[in-house]
């Protein structure tokens, strides 16, 4: 008979994801992509950096290709950063959530838009239990 571990479970390692809705984020994309996976809006300044990260093979060399690297997404014409963030949040959850990634995301950091009541609600609906403003946007955590 195997020894029982009781009801104790090992804590899941954190899985952080970023969302960048700032079309002028530029070179900072590459810095973030080395630390966690980041979803970045395509733009004149962001797209060349996104392509550089892809060419570097950063995600291909990682044990978990969704732990680092970049995924890009297009902005809709006239879309505000808040609307863009609300729209892409569900897609990020779809790719990094409990049905797609083990462990599922534990933290999503957003760059380029302030935390609004609407965005708080969007992330709470995805399971966030705490959302905190930052200088560049906000962080939502699932505890």
Residue 117 and residue 138: Cα distance in Å, rounded?
Answer: 12
- Tell me if 6 is assigned to some domain: no
Domain encompassing residue 70: 16-141
Total number of domains constituting the chain:
1
Q: Which long-range contacts (CB under 8 A, 24 or more apart) does 58-67 make?
A: 58/33, 58/34, 66/37, 66/95, 66/96, 66/101, 67/15, 67/36, 67/37
With the CA atoms of 130, 134, 137 and 142 taken in that order, what torsion angle do they form, in degrees rounded to the nearest 10? -20
pLDDT attached to residue 8: 46
Q: Is there a domain that residue 28 lies in?
A: yes
The token pair that represents 66 in the structure block = 């969704």
Query: What value does the mean pLDDT take over residues 106-126?
Result: 96
Question: Residue 120 domain-assigned?
Answer: yes
Q: Which residue has the tokens 């935390």?
A: 115
- Stretch (H or E) spanning 140: strand 137-141
Residue 89 has pLDDT above 80, yes or no: yes
pLDDT in tens, 6-20: 444 545 457 889 999
Residue 1 lies in a domain: no
Which residue in 117, 139, 120, 136 sits closest to 28, CA to CA?
A: 136
Q: Look at residue 1 in the predicted model and tell me its pLDDT.
A: 41
User: Which residues, listed in sequence order, are joined to residue 20 by a DSSP beta bridge?
Assistant: 40, 111
pTM for the model: 0.84
What confidence score (pLDDT) does residue 6 get? 44
| 126 has a pLDDT exceeding 70 | yes
């Amino acid at each position: 008979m195997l020894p029982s571990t009781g009801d104790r479970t090992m804590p899941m390692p954190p899985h952080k994801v970023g969302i960048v809705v700032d079309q002028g984020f530029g070179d900072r994309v590459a810095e973030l992509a080395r630390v966690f996976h980041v979803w970045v809006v395509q733009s004149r300044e962001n797209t060349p950096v996104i392509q550089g990260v892809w060419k570097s093979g950063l995600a291909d060399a990682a044990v978990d290709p969704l732990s680092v690297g970049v995924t890009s997404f297009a902005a809709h014409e006239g879309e505000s950063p808040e609307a863009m963030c609300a729209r892409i949040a569900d897609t990020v959850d779809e790719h990094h959530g409990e049905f797609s990634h083990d462990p599922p995301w534990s933290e999503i950091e957003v760059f380029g838009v302030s935390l609004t009541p609407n965005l708080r609600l969007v992330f709470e609906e995805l399971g966030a239990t705490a959302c905190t403003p930052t200088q560049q946007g906000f962080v939502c955590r699932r505890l």
